[in-house]
Structure 1
Amino acid sequence: MRGTPDVGMTLRRRFRSAITALVWTVGSRLPHGGRVVVCAVGSRLLGLVPLRGVRQWEDNVEVALGRRPTRAERRVLLASWLRNNLMSLSLARWSDDDVLSRVIIDDEDLERLRQSLAGPGVVLVLPHMGSWDFAGAWCARVGIKVVSVAERLPRGVYERFRDARAGMGMDILPVGQDNLMRVLADAVREGQAVCLLSDRDLSGRGLTVPWPGTGSTVNVPAGPALLARVTGCDLRVVTTAFRGDRVAVFVGDVVAAGSPATMMADVVAGFAEAVHRDPTSWLMLQPFFRDA
């Protein structure tokens, strides 16, 4: 009948929303011991399933490292993926001690952050690696105000993540917000750390830069380099990697000023170094390399 709503589609949307709410509720309340068990058992069970994302990760690692990952590495990758998601769901409920007791960071890396924030300001660029949400929650616990940007996800997921990250001490702005660059520039000038996931361009207007040692290229956003040039702030690569249920945080040197393409090529070189060091913390389960 004309004008009759698609009941099946409505029911499917309601079902997906209910599942999202259930996963969020359960995941956000799992204690530390529960997360450990889920990661250990879940990674073994998922390892038995031919998941498309895992196959894509294997292809990405093969290009980046020049070798196919092992079965053991696949299992660690799955544990890392589960751990990252469970952390993102639950970090808003972690105490200061929960966060500070699970971070691994050298004094020199922390001093790099302090120097940039005390001087020209800083834009921190991160890949999809380890737990970037944990890095933000840790910054908040040591007195560093974090501002970031997130994609507008459907069915209320963006709002859930925005509110959860607010509970971790971060301010999240949506992609496509009016005057976004101006708002981020103001945040830099106010002494806040602007943290941007920068290993994939979702706008279609990004830069194509080489991934070192592979002969392949990747598309990355120009925004971080442009923001650093406009504000005169430091641009630094930050990566995280799992060490069991702890998270190691690495802070790179200041990226040398230059054209946006040159600066983002240096950023990608920092990402590549981190992937070589910790491929099982690299959560790139989507097509990544342009000409692999």
Structure 2
Amino acid sequence: MGLTGVAWAVGGRIPRRVGDGLARVLSAPLALLPLPGVEAWADTVATATGRRPGLRRRRRLLENWLRNTLWSLSLERWSDADVLAVADIPDVDVVGLRESLAGPGLVLALPHMGSWDLAGAWCARVGIKVVSVAERLPDGLFERFRDARAAMGMDIYAVDQPDLMRLLARDVADRRVVCLLSDRDLSSRGVAVAWPRGGARLSVPAGAALLARRTGADLRVVSTRFDGARLRIRVSAPVRGDTLEAVLTGMVAGFAAAVEDSPEDWLMLRRAFA
């Protein structure tokens, strides 16, 4: 078993409250170190918000990153009550999700903020069927991740799944919500979109917008952030646009608003802007 497999096996057995405490304790000394990922995040946040984060936000970033990692490893063992107790989502946002699902269909675009896995687990717990896409990790880790999410009611395709867009379009038609992380391009086929503040360009995957346009589904932005012991989930109004570029611009504007509000929850440990 490789190091990642060991981390999965051990981290998945740490109770949530213990893991949250570890994240708080470990984040303070880690924030004092010149960690490359944290320095890259600080550069990215400075570009995104016009303000370079200080030590307090660095510590919060590391706490949030550790919490997200431990939650993702252990979520398959959480009870329904645990998921519902942690998730905080306004009633009006729930209504919007259900209206889109009952009407044209629903595609959700998410940034790497807070705990996107917990947001998916919440959907599954309230009867919303979730489909997503993940990298094909080595050493059997993708299959372990896929099976763990399936146990929670979430179906995961590999990013290299043949005929992926057709399968996702079928899922939209079958009234499943397709959730796609959309603030980081892992290929060479991303679209460069201007960030609302400062004009820097962020390369993003176009999949969520393309799928929504192909199926006629509503595209909404979902962002999450940690707030004490809870995770706040917020859902945007449908993103509209006559062209793919316009839809992607609206999507990125949704990401920017969430980052402006809580940059320490944007777990972008790399330089994101061109």
Q: Same fold (TM over 0.5)?
A: yes
Structure 2 distance, partners of 1:226, 1:68, is: 34
Report matched runs for 1:146-161 at 5 Å: 146-161=130-145
- Report whether the alignment pairs 1:280 with 2:233: no
Question: Sequence identity, in percent?
Answer: 57
Shift of 1:105: 0.8
Structure-1 residue corresponding to 2:149:
165
Residue of 31, 50, 53 corresponding to 1:69:
53
Residue of 70, 90, 93 corresponding to 1:86:
70
Shift of 1:77: 0.5
Measured on the aligned residues, the alpha-carbon RMSD in Å equals: 1.0
**Which amino acid is the alignment partner of residue 230 of structure 2?**
R
How many positions carry a matched residue from both structures?
274
Residue of 89, 96, 102 corresponding to 2:86:
102
Residue of 2, 24, 28 corresponding to 1:40:
24
| Alignment gaps of 5+ in structure 1 | 1-16
Report matched runs for 1:122-201 at 5 Å: 122-201=106-185
| Alignment gaps of 5+ in structure 2 | none
Stretch moving more, 133-142 or 23-32: 23-32
SS class of match (2:2): helix
Residue of 219, 239, 246 corresponding to 1:262:
246
SS class of match (2:12): helix
Moved over 6 A (4+): none
Residue of 39, 57, 64 corresponding to 2:41:
57
SS class of match (1:101): helix
**Which amino acid is the alignment partner of residue 74 of structure 1?**
R
Residue of 211, 215, 237 corresponding to 2:221:
237
The structure number with the bigger radius of gyration is: 1
Shift of 1:277: 0.6
Structure 2 distance, partners of 1:33, 1:205, is: 40
**Which amino acid is the alignment partner of residue 86 of structure 1?**
L
Contact between 2:16 and 2:71, CA under 8 Å: does it hold in 1? Answer: no
**Which amino acid is the alignment partner of residue 127 of structure 2?**
G
Structure-2 residue corresponding to 1:228:
212
**Which amino acid is the alignment partner of residue 51 of structure 1?**
L
Contact between 2:42 and 2:52, CA under 8 Å: does it hold in 1? Answer: yes
**Which amino acid is the alignment partner of residue 270 of structure 1?**
G
Shift of 1:159: 1.9
